Amino acid sequence: MSSTSAPRDVRWVKSTYSGAQGECVEWAPEHALATGEFLVRDSKVPGSPHLALSSTGFTGLVEFAKNCA
């Protein structure tokens, strides 16, 4: 896992696991498909660094979100 600046042409999509209270997570599905790297960020601070996860790390994050919902 790393925290970096995203490429400029990345399209971010709000996660279906984001909450109604503003705790919003976005990810970049096309980037993941093209590179195998799963980018995740806080939608409230779009210019901040993001997480770059492996497919295993992303799967773990999604499982964690489902269990917290």
Structurally, the chain folds into a number of domains equal to 1
pLDDT tens, residue by residue, 2-57: 545 556 688 999 877 666 666 688 999 999 999 999 999 988 888 888 999 999 99
Which whole-number Å values give the CA distances from 31 to 34, 67, 69, in the listed order? 5, 26, 26
The per-residue pLDDT for 17 is 61
Domain that holds residue 40: 2-68
The 10 Å Cβ neighbour count of residue 8 is 5
The per-residue pLDDT for 38 is 96
The per-residue pLDDT for 3 is 47
The per-residue pLDDT for 60 is 93
Q: Are 50 and 62 in contact (CB under 8 A)?
A: no
